[in-house]
């Protein structure tokens, strides 16, 4: 197969893992990333050390690549649109636009006929107080943009929580208040859509978070076949509505009756899909490369039950112990400095 070049915006661990998958299929990779010591720099063919929206860097990327993708959803939409004039960009910039704003995201998901938590836009302290009153004094206040891993959030657990400084406390930026959801568990589904519209879905994973950061993803999830099928159907609706190409991660709350409430979408390979590199023949990373390159999608079937666990901060010190255990895949991200809350790697244990 003739070698082509894939541009990846972002040089974190997801970009690193995409570069690994691309190299196995004889693709070259070019990373656009302002940090010259980023994890992906160790494994890519070339790095453009410029900001994600730098016109010179974008022009160089377009000139070097046959198509471009990205590893995180906060890529400037204008940058993706500029690139798309010169080179195919997958997933499409529209997916970025939807995923970057929690209000637009919720409205889009509802427009696909999929339920979400109730929500109110919050653009002032008065909006916040009115929204809290509607939700009985409870809810999760979030920044509409740029929040991740629990950042940019404030929780109101009862009317006794004082909301008088809530709007300013999160920076006085556009916010969204989401109602609490009484759920039994959290799941996510990793799905892929190719250029020709073919869709492949991995089995839903059951997720546990600690301090707002994913801790474990377990397969199989403790859900019915009907709930799993509902997750696949929701994924297919979202992919079709976006005319999507590539891998997407979609998070859900599972209610007591097995029905689903969509939480958020991530237009990229996703942390809760890392288990696929150990428990499937075709990982989510290779699936993404296949999708954006116009290659046939691989079989997403799971050959083993498993638990994927993130190594956060000093969890990386446990690696020697994990290496002694059977049926454990250890994947480190090439980061030299451990910090609280920083993802240093992950392990997947086959069961």
Architecture of domain 5-89 in this structure:
3-Layer(aba) Sandwich (3.40)
Q: What is the DSSP string of 260-281?
A: EEEEEEESS--GGGTTHHHHBS
Question: What pLDDT is attached to residue 167?
Answer: 87
pLDDT band at 165 (very low <50, low <70, confident <90, very high): confident
Please report, in angstroms and rounded to a whole number, the separation of the first and last CA atoms in the chain.
36
**H helix or E strand, kind and range, residue 61:** helix 55-64
Mention the CATH class of domain 185-350: alpha beta
Domain 118-178 in the same topology as domain 5-89:
no
Average pLDDT over residues 143-151: 73
Domain residue extents for the chain: 5-89, 118-178, 185-350
Token pair belonging to 175: 């916010």
Token pair belonging to 244: 């999507």
Q: Write out pLDDT tens, residues 253-280.
A: 999 999 999 999 999 999 999 999 999 9
pLDDT band at 29 (very low <50, low <70, confident <90, very high): very high
Query: Distance (Å, rounded) from C-alpha 89 to C-alpha 339?
Result: 33
Average pLDDT over residues 212-227: 97
Q: Write out pLDDT tens, residues 79-133.
A: 999 999 999 999 999 999 999 999 999 999 999 999 999 999 999 999 999 999 9
The residue to which tokens 């709007």 are assigned: 167
Please give the model's pTM, rounded to 2 decimal places: 0.95
The CATH code of the domain at 118-178 is 3.30.1490.20
Preceding peptide of 330 cis, ω within 30°: no
């Amino acid at each position: 197969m003739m070698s082509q070049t894939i541009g990846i915006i972002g040089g974190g661990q997801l970009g690193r893992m995409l570069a690994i998958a691309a190299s196995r299929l004889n693709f070259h990779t070019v990373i656009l990333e302002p940090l010259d010591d980023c994890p992906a720099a160790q494994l890519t063919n070339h790095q453009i050390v410029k900001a994600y929206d730098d016109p010179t860097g974008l022009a160089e990327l377009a000139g070097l690549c046959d198509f471009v993708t990205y590893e995180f959803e906060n890529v400037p939409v204008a940058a993706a649109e500029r690139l798309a004039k010169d080179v195919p960009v997958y997933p499409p910039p529209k997916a970025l636009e939807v995923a970057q704003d929690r209000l637009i995201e919720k409205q889009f998901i509802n427009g696909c006929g999929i339920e979400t938590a109730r929500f109110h836009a919050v653009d002032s302290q008065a909006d916040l107080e009115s929204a809290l009153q509607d939700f009985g004094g409870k809810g999760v206040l979030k920044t509409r943009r740029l929040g991740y891993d629990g950042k940019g959030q404030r929780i109101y657990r009862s009317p006794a929580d004082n909301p008088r400084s809530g709007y300013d406390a999160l920076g006085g930026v556009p916010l969204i208040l989401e109602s609490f959801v009484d759920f039994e568990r959290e799941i996510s589904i990793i799905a892929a859509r190719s250029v020709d519209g073919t869709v492949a879905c991995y089995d839903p994973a059951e997720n546990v978070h600690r301090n707002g950061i994913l801790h474990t993803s377990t397969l199989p999830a403790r859900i019915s076949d009907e709930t799993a099928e509902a997750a696949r159907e929701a994924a297919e609706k979202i992919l079709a509505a976006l005319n999507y190409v590539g891998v997407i991660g979609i998070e859900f709350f599972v209610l007591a009756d097995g029905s689903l409430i969509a939480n958020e979408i991530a237009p990229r390979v996703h942390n809760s899909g890392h288990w696929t590199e150990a428990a499937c023949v075709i990982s989510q990373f290779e699936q993404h490369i296949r999708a954006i390159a116009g290659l046939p999608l691989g079989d997403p079937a799971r050959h083993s039950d498993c638990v994927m666990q993130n190594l956060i901060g000093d969890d990386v010190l446990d690696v020697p112990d994990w290496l002694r255990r059977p049926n454990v895949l250890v994947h480190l991200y090439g980061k030299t400095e451990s910090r609280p809350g920083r993802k240093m790697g992950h392990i997947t244990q086959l069961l």
